[in-house]
């Protein structure tokens, strides 16, 4: 099934598109510029080529050190030094026959209601309609241009938008489209052909840098533990935005034809069930954490210890560390009798006969979380 068909099927099933995330919370974040390290040989010389070169230095450096939300805010700040604009909107979408479907998006200099109101005029948005499957080519409109639908004009006026321009790029790796819209509030400052060229030059790099930023998000919280789970970032429709190759490998043990583009239906249903618990399949365990309008997934093969309740697992870990029944009871704030009950249940579920097997099982669980094929950034 294609990504577009998957998206349409799951938006029909799960309803509304996710709200746009206002970037105001990131306004105080510092903006370090990598281009400053090259002052002299790469000083701005007034040409568009040199300006773009400096911008890209800063963009890729930003992507390598910022996660979701941080990256988008930093991007708009960098772009504003390269192209004058007053507000912006960027995100990831799928182009369908019924118009663009937003997987996640961020607004800059605009409130969250901007997106909610846009959904009501999506069907008459000349930018959304005109840019469908028109990748890499900027499209601009003025709100006073003839032929603009009154509903769309009123929406733009509500948010003080006089000049609007959009461009998009399709990343074939995951089948998702990155879009970028910028807006000006002045009626006498339309976007020029040079402005359109700038946006067209920037959009493939934004899409590529977005992938780098998502890879950073996957690795930023990894500690130095041996157990490093395979990870992915997805949205509520199940579209995969970034994933370790090991994530695909592990999920294929449960779903043999799975590819890192769209999650299997049971996993998507689990996301929407919002149980707060990991998904536990026949061969895999997948935990799901919301991250700025998206989800971060961690997958590992199931180990025998997954059969235990949380209390049984805690008891057997402490007992395996060498604590006595009484010491385990004190640590868990329960009675020694209850500890013995937990251990008997654990031994039975695991088919164990003596305490010496516990370290081996715990080590097996650690190894399960660190597949040798885990190379980030599929």
Helix or strand holding residue 235 (H, E): none
Nearest to 4 by CA among 250, 175, 255, 205: 175
Distance in angstroms (rounded) separating the CA atoms of residues 4 and 188: 39
Residue % of the chain over a pLDDT of 70:
85
Distance in angstroms (rounded) separating the CA atoms of residues 234 and 294: 6
User: Taking 50 as the threshold, does the pLDDT of residue 14 lie above it?
Assistant: no
pLDDT in tens, 25-54: 887 777 777 777 766 666 666 788 888 888
Distance in angstroms (rounded) separating the CA atoms of residues 203 and 182: 12
Strand ranges, E, within the chain:
21-22, 87-96, 99-108, 139-142, 163-171, 176-184, 230-234, 240-243, 279-280, 284-291, 294-301
Distance in angstroms (rounded) separating the CA atoms of residues 268 and 242: 16
Beta bridge partners of 184: 163
pTM of the model: 0.73
Domains and CATH numbers, the chain: 3-219 (3.30.450.80), 230-302 (3.40.1840), 305-368 (1.10.10.10)
- Helix (H) and strand (E) counts in the chain: 13, 11
pLDDT in tens, 213-267: 888 888 765 544 445 668 999 888 888 898 888 899 999 999 999 887 889 999 9
pLDDT in tens, 131-152: 888 899 999 999 999 999 999 9
Kindly report the number of other CB atoms within 10 A of residue 180's CB atom: 22
Query: How far does Cα 226 stand from its chain's mean position?
Result: 25
């Amino acid at each position: 099934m294609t990504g577009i068909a998957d998206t349409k099927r799951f938006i029909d099933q799960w309803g509304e598109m996710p709200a746009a995330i206002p970037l105001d919370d990131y306004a105080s974040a510092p903006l370090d510029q990598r281009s400053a390290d090259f002052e002299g040989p790469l000083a701005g010389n007034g040409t568009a080529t040199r300006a773009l070169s400096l911008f890209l230095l800063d963009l890729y450096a930003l992507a390598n050190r910022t996660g979701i939300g941080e990256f988008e805010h930093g991007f708009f700040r960098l772009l504003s030094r390269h192209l004058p604009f007053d507000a912006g909107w960027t995100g990831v979408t799928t182009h369908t026959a019924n118009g663009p479907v937003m997987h996640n998006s961020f607004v800059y200099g605009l409130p969250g209601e901007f997106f909610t109101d846009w959904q009501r005029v999506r069907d008459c948005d000349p930018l959304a309609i005109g840019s469908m499957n028109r990748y890499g080519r900027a499209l601009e409109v003025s709100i006073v241009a003839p032929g603009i639908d009154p509903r769309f004009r009123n929406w733009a006026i509500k948010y003080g938008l006089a000049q609007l321009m959009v461009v998009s790029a399709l990343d074939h790796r995951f089948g998702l489209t990155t879009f970028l819209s910028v807006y000006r509030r002045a009626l006498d400052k339309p976007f020029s052909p040079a402005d359109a060229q700038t946006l067209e030059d920037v959009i493939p790099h934004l899409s590529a840098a977005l992938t780098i930023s998502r890879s950073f998000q996957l690795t930023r919280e990894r500690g130095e533990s041996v157990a490093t789970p395979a990870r992915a970032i997805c949205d509520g429709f199940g579209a995969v935005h970034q994933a370790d190759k090991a994530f695909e490998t592990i999920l294929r043990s449960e779903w043999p034809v799975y590819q890192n583009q769209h999650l299997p239906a049971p996993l998507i249903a689990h996301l929407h069930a919002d149980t707060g618990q990991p998904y536990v399949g026949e061969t895999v365990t997948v935990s799901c954490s919301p991250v700025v309008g998206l989800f971060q997934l961690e997958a590992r093969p199931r180990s025998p210890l997954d059969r235990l309740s949380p209390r049984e697992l805690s008891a057997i870990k402490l007992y395996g560390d060498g604590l006595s029944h009484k010491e385990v009871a004190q640590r868990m704030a329960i009675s020694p009798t209850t500890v013995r009950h937990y251990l008997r249940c654990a031994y039975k579920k695991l088919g164990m006969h003596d305490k010496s097997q516990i370290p081996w099982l715990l080590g097996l669980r650690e190894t399960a979380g660190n597949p040798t094929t885990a190379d980030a950034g599929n």
